A and B are shown apart, each in its own frame.
Chain A
Amino acid sequence: MTTVREVRIAGHPFVLRSSDVVRAMREVDPEPIASHYVVVGTRRFPPKQIIGELTGLDRADFTTHQARRTLIRLGFSAGRRPGRTTGTISAPSRHRPVIAPRPLADRLRPLAGSWVAIRDDDILHSTQSPQELVAWLSRHGQKAESMFRVPEDELAASGLAPQ
């Protein structure tokens, strides 16, 4: 279901749809998360990256708080990187409870077959190839603690062929 909101950002009126957000970010690489993030699909983006991408506005013209609030009103989950604050994820609707972050293994599950970079129990980035992943880390000056492909079958998980 698409949620539509009329918003005003940096003095400009916009009509934003949740489906537009998903479409706009589909081919976009998430930038490193400093603190706040918003989940689109299975990926985390800095809120200002999404609003900048969607509206074409200069990111200096609006705040992270504005971007985050706008996206929450469109139905997206928002949170902060674990370890820096409370680590809770705020739900987009008042009818949904505030939930604690899921264990890393559960967050990895939807990414089966993808390459992931991990730091501080957080998924920094995921890609379809290890070369793309290392290029992303280098491009953004990021350092992972670990990289691997999330196992998609028994052979990948154990290194052994099924019996």
Chain B
Amino acid sequence: MRFAFRDIPDPGTSGVRPRPIVDVVVEGLDVAPQACLLDSGATAVRFGAHVAEICGIDLRDAPRTRLAVGGAVVTALMAEVTLEVDDGSQQYAWSAPVWFCEPWAPSFGLLGLTGFFDHFTVTIASYQEWFELTPAS
């Protein structure tokens, strides 16, 4: 499944920043796939807590931890959820532990090692501004 980098406005300048971003349907909420950044520096999949709210994910008895995201310490609650990507011709769905964080400063969800990179072989052609996700068998 191949995707083009997405041009995002560069804050504070008139330029754009091409990023490896893929839209992920969380728990079947296909009216609003979440834009997510491929982040091999993240140990896990992390979203803002608002994603759990809009997807109706119950976090009342969820495992809880404190972790650092972008230099800030956040409260994170974990749930096993279904994630799905679609390149227009193929779909791939998997189940992953996702940490829902509050507060959440990034504009996007972060797709990290556990829950994302361990489900795909990921090729990033940064110069050519595309990336490819091959589901691990």
Contact = CB atoms under 8 A, between A and B. Distances in A.
Interface of A: 103-106, 108-109, 112, 117, 129-131, 133-134, 137-138, 142-161
A112 B107 CA distance: 10
Interface residues of B, number: 33
Interface of B: 7-12, 14, 16-17, 23, 29-35, 37, 39, 48, 50-51, 53-54, 69-72, 105-108, 110
Contact of A161 (B30, B71, B108): B71
Contact of A133 (B32, B33, B53, B71): B32
The interface centre, meaning the residue of B35, B48, B72 with most chain A CB atoms within 10 A of its CB, is B35
Contacts of A151: 8-9, 11, 107
Nearest to A152: B11
Contacts of A133: 32
Given A144-B33, A146-B33, A158-B106, 7 more contacts: A105-B8, A133-B32, A137-B32, A155-B106, A159-B37, A159-B108, A161-B72
B20 to A, nearest CB: 12
B70 A148 contact: no
17 contacts: A105-B7, A108-B9, A112-B9, A117-B32, A130-B50, A134-B32, A137-B31, A138-B31, A151-B9, A153-B11, A154-B12, A155-B105, A156-B105, A157-B10, A159-B106, A159-B110, A161-B72
Contact of A134 (B12, B31, B70, B72): B31
Contacts of A157: 8, 10-11, 17, 107
A133 B51 CA distance: 12
